[in-house]
Amino acid sequence: MPIPFDVLAEPQRRRILDLLLERPRLVGELTAELGLSQPGTSKHLRVLREAGLVRVRQDAQRRWYELRPEPLAELDAWLAHYRHLWSASFDRLERHLDQLKDDAP
Amino acid sequence: MPIPFDVLAEPQRRRILDLLLERPRLVGELTAELGLSQPGTSKHLRVLREAGLVRVRQDAQRRWYELRPEPLAELDAWLAHYRHLWSASFDRLERHLDQLKDDAP
DNA sequence: CGGCTATATAACCAAGGAGGTATTTTCGAG
DNA sequence: CTCGAAAATACCTCCTTGGTTATATAGCCG
């Protein structure tokens, strides 16, 4: 699964992720919060779904959308290549991370 | 400076960042590596410059482009809101980070 | 100065995508 | 079995943008 940069480039989609970070939501709720048309919201949700950033749980006619953070973890991994450029204590941090892994796997 | 999601959404621009991660480069070098036209490369560089992701150092007619990681650090900060979703040891990590700060400021 | 090199800007074009309205599908309630 | 609610899909339009070629700008060197 490639990192969904283009999916995240859309502000409304990031707002959806922010909302889903709090709790799962119905399409109708998201539509209201975003101020979009219902089909517009559904279209964004489809893109997010296909990128693996959200999953759906069906409940009668309702669909609960919830976050799937895996692609964001991949984005995080990509960022790691650059992180030493701004994180002065990056090397020490890495060593501590390794140590954490050993402590509690 | 807002997080430049849309700037990063362009694959060629990410390739430029990857190349600049190794070392600063001239426009001509980047053009060759990307297989784009020279104006095409310049246009991407302008976008990256305006997003604060690169800076230029002039040297006669040459322009050396180099990485500016600050916007990526902001992206990292945005990601932090989501990080606990996949990083099981996130809380412990946070404590260790604070400790590091105290150890060596 | 005149020409050469490196880069930027201008003008244009084609494709993609975000938005809307209209329509379809699905499912529960009565 | 019909009606209504919830969400998805179809279709269209407009705007943005990545790519191109042509041209302008800037600075070195003979």
Give the model confidence (pLDDT) of A32-86 as tens digits: 999 999 999 999 999 999 999 999 999 999 999 999 999 999 999 999 999 999 8
Q: Tell me: the pLDDT tens digits for B40-76?
A: 999 999 999 999 999 999 999 999 999 999 999 999 9
Q: pTM of the predicted model, to two decimals?
A: 0.87
Name the CATH architecture for the domain at B5-103. Orthogonal Bundle (1.10)
How close A25 gets to chain B, by Cα (Å)?
17
Contact A79 B76 (CB under 8 A): yes
Domain positions in chain B are: 5-103
Query: What is the C-alpha separation between B55 and B68, in angstroms, rounded?
Result: 6
Show the tokens assigned to A69.
Answer: 């953070």
Q: Give A72-77 contacts, CB < 8 A, sequence gap 24+.
A: A72/B79, A72/B82, A72/B85, A72/B86, A73/B86, A73/B87, A74/A1, A74/A3, A75/A3, A75/A4, A75/A5, A75/A8, A75/B79, A76/B79, A76/B83, A76/B86
Secondary structure (H, E, C), chain A: CCCCHHHHCCHHHHHHHHHHHHCCEEHHHHHHHHCCCHHHHHHHHHHHHHCCCEEEEEECCEEEEEECCHHHHHHHHHHHHHHCCCCCCHHHHHHHHHHHHHHCC
B interface test, pick of A8, A70, A94, A101 with most B CB neighbours within 10 Å: A8
Residue nearest to nucleotide D23 (CA to C1'): B39
B93 contacts B87 by C-beta, under 8 angstroms: yes
